[in-house]
Structure 1
Amino acid sequence: MTRIKNIISNQYHQLNFAERGRIEALRGLDWSIRRIAKTLHRNPSTISRELKRGTTTQLNASTRIFEQSYLAETGEAVYRKHRLNSCYSGLFDHCHLFCNALATALKVRPR
């Protein structure tokens, strides 16, 4: 049973928006990366990468100083942008000229 449990626990699952919101809230309380990871049952590297992706620079209205802060909405937006670019588009989408030339060449000469 423990062997099956270990195999299942090694599978990677994407962070969802609720977890990103918890990361934002806990980071606002100055929790460490390891403490956040332990609370969310995630690897500290996952939390570190998420903090790097979702951190943005904002202007503090009262002090007029730029500050770096993690926002769950920014992390979600970066995640969605990367997911759109991660899909394989296929050979025919990249090589229009070659595919058209190949189709005409095959039509000219019988097989």
Structure 2
Amino acid sequence: MTHSQTNTHKHYQQLSFSDRATIQALRAAGDTATVIAQKLHRSKATISREITRGSVTQLDSKRHSYQVYLAETAQAMHDRKRDRTGHYAFLKTGRAFFKALARELTRKPRVHSVDSFVHFYRDQGKACPSTTTVYRYIDAGLLELDNMTLPKKLRRRIKGYKNAHKRKNKKIYGDSIELHPAAVNDRTGVGHWEGDLVKGIRLADEPALMTLTERYSRTVIIVKIPDYHAGTCLKALQDTIDDYGAKEFESITFDNGSEFAKLSEIVGT
């Protein structure tokens, strides 16, 4: 018994942001902590504690409160806890990330913001700090970057953003998130969504979950897709927009993954 407990502890791994995104999707789909633990091959206690820590209270349209688990909230709490205890692990282990981030933020024309690059980096299966943590490091003067190098925070509408030049090539799909109107970034208006894929196996022919999260209300739509080729993602998103009504989707933001290469062909938003 003692030997078994020792091995379990030895091989314990902390939850990653990808794990937390999966938990959010599965909770939204109605799975219990027990089922999620089985799917992620973690203990029920680990998942239960994670759900408790990462859950926030929200109000529905009738002002009734309910609890919802959010991956970004859980990750930010995890990062803050690590920082409070004096562990700035990413300053040492994340040198490759910070070097790549500095290169991207000084690229002309600039493609990524801090937030989009964090998501892009994680999508490669690499570990990196949250957006909040990166900004905290910058404000504390712990990085070579400073606030003057960061993309401007869009607290007001950019004049003529709808007619701005679209930077596209074979690797950059659609418009940069720097062209977002202020309502998207400040979460002051409804109808602006963020899209992502939850992948169990990183093979494009395997099933996945497409998640759409409304930035203001945090409403989540989850669609199961048979694979995540670009054409499949396009059809799944178009069907969802048609089912719910185009008026519900003012804008939808995805990362720059190749599976989203055809989403600029969407009709209705």
Place the TM-score, normalised by the shorter chain, in its bin.
0.5 to 0.7
Q: Which aligned pairs between 1:1-111 and structure 2 lie closer than 5 A?
A: 7=7, 10-60=10-60, 62-87=61-86
SS of equivalent residue, structure 1 residue 81: helix
The letter of the residue matching 1:79 is: H
SS of equivalent residue, structure 1 residue 87: coil
The alpha-carbon deviation at position 57 of structure 1 amounts to 0.6
The alpha-carbon deviation at position 47 of structure 1 amounts to 0.2
TM-score (norm. length: structure 1): 0.66
The structure with higher relative contact order (CA 8 Å, sep 6+) is: 1
The letter of the residue matching 2:45 is: S
Deviations 1:13-66 (A, max 9, x none): 111111101101111111111110010011111100100100101122x22222
The letter of the residue matching 2:32 is: S
Q: Which has the larger radius of gyration?
A: 1
The letter of the residue matching 1:39 is: K
TM-score (norm. length: structure 2): 0.29
The alpha-carbon deviation at position 7 of structure 1 amounts to 3.2
Unaligned 5+ residue runs, structure 2?
Answer: 88-269
Unaligned 5+ residue runs, structure 1?
Answer: 89-111
The letter of the residue matching 1:86 is: T
SS of equivalent residue, structure 2 residue 86: coil
SS of equivalent residue, structure 2 residue 62: coil
SS of equivalent residue, structure 2 residue 11: coil
The letter of the residue matching 1:81 is: R
- State the alpha-carbon separation in 1 of the partners of residues 69 and 55 from structure 2: 4
- State the alpha-carbon separation in 2 of the partners of residues 59 and 8 from structure 1: 40
CA RMSD of aligned residues (A): 2.1
The letter of the residue matching 2:56 is: T
- Give the share of equivalent positions with the same residue, in percent: 41
- State the alpha-carbon separation in 1 of the partners of residues 7 and 56 from structure 2: 36
SS of equivalent residue, structure 1 residue 82: helix
SS of equivalent residue, structure 2 residue 24: helix
Paired residue for 1:106?
Answer: none
The letter of the residue matching 1:29 is: A
Matched pairs, number: 83
Deviations 1:53-104 (A, max 9, x none): 00101122x222221111111101110011101227xxxxxxxxxxxxxxxx
- State the alpha-carbon separation in 1 of the partners of residues 8 and 50 from structure 2: 23
- State the alpha-carbon separation in 2 of the partners of residues 40 and 84 from structure 1: 26
